[in-house]
Chains A and B, each alone.
Chain A
Amino acid sequence: MAAVTERSNFGKIAWPIVAWIVALIFFFPIFWLVFTSFKTDADAVKPEHLFRFTPTLENYTNMTQNYDYWRFAINSVITSTFATLFALFVGVPAAYAMAFNPSRHTKDILMWMLSTKMLPAAAVLYPMTFLTKNFLGIFDTHFLVIVVLCLINLPIVIWMLFTYFKEIPKEIIEAGKMDGVSTWGEIKDILIPLAWGGIASTALLTFIFCWNEAYWTVRLTTIDAATLSKLIEGNRAPEGLFFGRLSAVSTAAIAPIVILGWFCQKQLVQGLTFGAVK
């Protein structure tokens, strides 16, 4: 008995320490990014100013004066919001159909959807650029960014929603059928209220994925539809001379999403660990 107690006491102290260390390791790059954003570009690369420097807001003031942070930020908000909404608009009925009216091929369809995520994005970069620029004329438009963000996230959206919907007892939907609800009514009056938590965490995660997406948003936009990812990209210099500026831009780009995530922690944890317990 004594041994067991000692051991669990040790565990009570040791595990939180380990957790803190791991958390700090993960947090450190973010901390360093914010820290560096208060240095001048010159200070940022000098080892003697690693910790001792005069903090400045110069990088942030430059940001709004020189390259219009707000335009990029608004583009990010617009594209991420609409991409998320469209993904849900398609994903909820799709997942509903597969969860409550499965056919023999439902599993195959789900796998096929997931397999689209295995395609290397670089493989279709040239056709995408060529088509959107020369044929469709939608290069660097909100429309294009929204469609692309929506499509690349759709498989995950459907998988997540499918998993949530599967947990709703089939009989409740059947009771709805007996009560004479239309298909749309089943979704609106029964499914959505019951799966609200799952839909919200799916939406939140999708929004974050859209916000952070860089590969396509950087390559399919120039100015009009450019998002914050593009802003960061634009401040990247191969010589690494503008670390202070780059850090400030990056901090400003991730700040909204970090704050959003902070407020929705509970939903996020539920979303990220879905299906893990059952």
Chain B
Amino acid sequence: MAGLTLRDVKKRYGETQVMHGVDLDIEHGEFVVFVGPSGCGKSTLLRMIAGLEEISDGTVAIGDTVVNQVAASKRGVAMVFQTYALYPHMTVYKNMAFGLKQAKTDPAEIDKRVKAAAEILQLGDYLDRSPRNLSGGQRQRVAIGRAIVRDPEVFLFDEPLSNLDAALRVQTRLEIARLHERLGNTMIYVTHDQVEAMTLADKIVVLRDGRIEQVGSPIELYERPQNAFVAQFIGSPKMNFFGPDDLAANAAAVLGKELPASQQVGLRPEHMVISDAANGVVEGKMELVENLGEYAMVHMITDTGVEFIAKTEKPPAAKKGEVISFTIKPELAHYFDAETGLRS
């Protein structure tokens, strides 16, 4: 069984560089999620680990073996694609058996492994069907089954839930979590959905423009984001940012510190509480309330024109256009350098 080591991994397409030297250590058995906005290079990085993209520079090692020059099928990895990528002309059974057949595995062994995987994924009744006669969720399970039968060291998932509807996405997410618990393999999972990232991951890797912004457990990323980008990316709705001029008159007293001009303060919507003006950290005019029953999203705008959102238990009594003050516990405020975005 094996972990992964990435050292100064770069990717260039002709003149354009898309990965700028990624260093990453993944322990055996870890569930790692690559997350970031589209175009950040998360899928490219996954595909480089899979062996579907060449590594322009640096090394990728699985266990102790550097696999830069090893063919995809010999790396001990299996991949689940966003589009499932099942072979449409083969039955579910043949789809799962195909890889083993290529490896010249003994037919009895193939049968045993396919049946075992079908058992885990509850696909036993569908083995003779062709993919076109399956629902989206079933297709995704076949794709996962195809990965399981190969008994890989590392599972790679490329946005596996994106093509499923919301209800099925939650269910399949749970199934993947259970699968990880059961098999105990290393899994690397790419998504742009931070809920998937937060719920599944032992370790989240936040990427932007081909660079790692932060690596850490979900809770670390939420509680101590190292820069403004991570702070905004993790958490929904995203963190509100204010400069010194945007804050209410008594903000310094409530927060316990004067915000210098070179810094910004970040306040998470779910930490903001309606208060009287004397205890207010920020205040603004109410623009819109979205009442979702269990909580309300209050859309606000400050005098200085900064829009922000507060997540409150109940919708405020105030009407549109009225001024509301919000406060926050000082330890829940995050400070970032206004220019570099780094935590300060």
Contact of A171 among B14, B83, B103, B150 (CB under 8 A): B83
Separation of A185 and B102 alpha carbons in the complex (Å): 9
Contact of B98 among A104, A174, A179 (CB under 8 A): A179
Interface centre among A104, A177, A178, A180 (most CB of B within 10 A): A178
Separation of A171 and B73 alpha carbons in the complex (Å): 15
Separation of A169 and B52 alpha carbons in the complex (Å): 15
Assuming the contacts A177-B73, A180-B73, A185-B102, asked whether A172 and B14 have C-beta atoms less than 8 A apart, the reply is no
B102 engages A181 (CB within 8 Å): yes
Residues of chain A contacted by B87 (CB below 8 angstroms):
172, 175-176, 190, 194
Separation of A113 and B20 alpha carbons in the complex (Å): 38
Residues of chain B contacted by A174 (CB below 8 angstroms):
52, 79, 81, 85
Q: In chain B between 48 and 98, which residues have their CB closer than 8 angstroms to a CB of chain A?
A: 50-52, 71-74, 77-79, 81-83, 85-89, 98
Minimum C-beta distance from B121 to chain A (A) = 17
A171 engages B74 (CB within 8 Å): no
Separation of A174 and B71 alpha carbons in the complex (Å): 12
Minimum C-beta distance from B316 to chain A (A) = 48
Task: Say yes or no for A127: interface residue by CB 8 A criterion.
Answer: no
Task: Say yes or no for B244: interface residue by CB 8 A criterion.
Answer: no
Residues of chain B contacted by A179 (CB below 8 angstroms):
73, 98-99, 102, 146, 150
Contact of B52 among A177, A180, A194 (CB under 8 A): A177
Separation of A179 and B149 alpha carbons in the complex (Å): 11
A194 engages B89 (CB within 8 Å): yes
Minimum C-beta distance from B217 to chain A (A) = 29
A104 engages B73 (CB within 8 Å): no
Minimum C-beta distance from A38 to chain B (A) = 49
Minimum C-beta distance from B140 to chain A (A) = 13
The A interface is mostly helix, strand or loop, or mixed, namely helix
Residues of chain A contacted by B50 (CB below 8 angstroms):
178
In the complex formed, the residue of B with least CB distance to A181 is: B102
Assuming the contacts A171-B83, A174-B52, A175-B79, asked whether A180 and B71 have C-beta atoms less than 8 A apart, the reply is yes
Separation of A189 and B86 alpha carbons in the complex (Å): 13
Separation of A104 and B99 alpha carbons in the complex (Å): 31
Residues of chain A contacted by B146 (CB below 8 angstroms):
175, 179
In the complex formed, the residue of B with least CB distance to A104 is: B14
Minimum C-beta distance from B91 to chain A (A) = 13
B85 engages A175 (CB within 8 Å): yes
Residues of chain A contacted by B77 (CB below 8 angstroms):
178
In the complex formed, the residue of B with least CB distance to A196 is: B89
Give the 3 A-B CB pairs with smallest separation, nearest first. A180-B73, A179-B99, A171-B85
Q: For the A-B complex with A171-B82, A178-B73 known, give 17 more contacts whose Cβ atoms are closer than 8 Å.
A: A171-B85, A172-B85, A172-B86, A174-B52, A175-B87, A175-B146, A177-B52, A177-B71, A178-B50, A178-B51, A178-B78, A178-B79, A179-B73, A179-B146, A180-B71, A193-B89, A194-B88
B residues near A (Cβ < 8 Å) are: 14, 50-52, 71-74, 77-79, 81-83, 85-89, 98-99, 102-103, 146, 150
Task: List 11 contacting pairs A-B, 8 Å CB cutoff, sorted by A.
Answer: A169-B85, A171-B85, A172-B86, A172-B87, A175-B81, A175-B85, A177-B71, A178-B50, A179-B102, A180-B103, A181-B73
